[in-house]
Amino acid sequence: RKGTAVITGASSGLGLAAAKALAETGKWHVIMACRDFLKAEKAAKSAGMAKESYTIMHLDLASLDSVRQFVDNFKQSGRPLDVLVCNAAVYQPTAKQPSFTADGFELSVGTNHLGHFLLSRLLLDDMNQSDYPSKRLIIVGSITGNTNTLAGNVPPKANLGDLRGLAGGLNELNSSAMIDGGDFDGAKAYKDSKVCNMLTMQEFHRRYHEDTGITFASLYPGCIATTGLFREHIPLFRLLFPPFQKYITKGFVSEEEAGKRLAQVVSDSSLTKSGVYWSWNKASASFENQLSPEASDAEKARKIWELSEKLVGLA
Ligand code: NDP
């Protein structure tokens, strides 16, 4: 049978490109889990995806109710769950003030980490029950949260500190909108959320890989300087960033190529290893990359897991 892959945020950028790449193989049915139904439908059509290769289902990761609703809808669809790709993200590099999810969490960490945390916890059982030979939970990471790289050292750097802001619920009423309890910084909040994504993948691996055989992996697909992720950046940045990445850092990768990379992590038989973080070299070959000390800190991963469980109502 065809595999079923759920991809969050498949209405643009990397998620859309991966959905298209998987659909084109004829071996996958893609569930596009998106907050804007119409946008997703238009995106799938203009990408040329065959009608029977995808289903769009509503999911707003900035609302825990919506996440639960999505899970119910998915279960009711009767489809098996073979692969879940946590791809959606918001990035607010120029925001002066924090904005918040429906549940009152700072938006970047609330969407990118907490929404996906609840989603993947609630869907783990479904994945476990599937009879697909290679089940995978993929969480899209980023080099920017990884301070053992050049890009990860551009300030403001990711730093989760002692997690006091997360423990306080990520809002200024109780403590702070930032995980480390510091002043709000939109670019840092995004990087922090990506560290949480990479730590969550490793914690899943430690807790569930042996018993379930599910592959838990993360990846950095390269700098896709043309996606909507940078939509909130100042115009000059948006103008100069793609050529800068193309000619200076040479880290630039097209949406199509990045989509193929993510599709490889979903379905390639050589990328089944669990607990790893994939990257690609200049020749576009995948390799198992190293994470920074903070992004591979097992004790921090456990604490984030436990605090996140409380915030999303699982504990
Ligand atoms: P895009 O902005 O193009 O895609 C992000 C997607 O997330 C969009 O489809 C967006 O939906 C969706 N989304 C945002 N908020 C929510 C929400 N509350 N509920 C549901 N969906 C939501 O950016 P990219 O394709 O670049 O980003 C995809 C992933 O790749 C992210 O995890 C990002 O961190 C990662 N990444 C990107 C890099 C890059 O250079 N671009 C580099 C490294 C990692 P909508 O279409 O409705 O806005």
pLDDT tens for each residue of 66-94: 999 999 999 999 999 999 999 999 999 99
pLDDT number for residue 142? 86
Out of 6, 7, 11, give the residue to mutate to test ligand 1, the one with the largest number of ligand atoms within 8 Å of its CB: 11
Q: CA angle 111-112-117, nearest 5°? A: 90
pLDDT tens-digit profile of 151-195?
A: 777 789 999 999 999 999 999 888 899 999 999 999 999 999 999
Q: Which residues of the chain have pLDDT under 70?
A: 145
Determine the atom of ligand 1 nearest the C-alpha atom of 221. 43
State in Å: Cα 270 to ligand 1 middle.
26
Model pTM greater than 0.90? Answer: yes
- Token look-up 């840092």 returns 188
Catalytic residue numbers, as ranges: 190
CB atoms within 10 A of CB 32: 27
pLDDT number for residue 19? 98
Check: CB of residue 101 under 8 Å from CB of residue 47.
no
Check: CB of residue 198 under 8 Å from CB of residue 204.
no
Determine the atom of ligand 1 nearest the C-alpha atom of 229. 2
State in Å: Cα 61 to ligand 1 middle.
11
Alpha helices in the chain (DSSP H): 13-25, 37-46, 64-77, 107-108, 116-129, 164-167, 186-212, 235-243, 255-267, 298-311
Q: State whether the beta carbon of 140 lies less than 6 angstroms from ligand 1.
A: yes
Determine the atom of ligand 1 nearest the C-alpha atom of 230. 2
ipTM (interface pTM)? 0.98
State in Å: Cα 167 to ligand 1 middle.
26
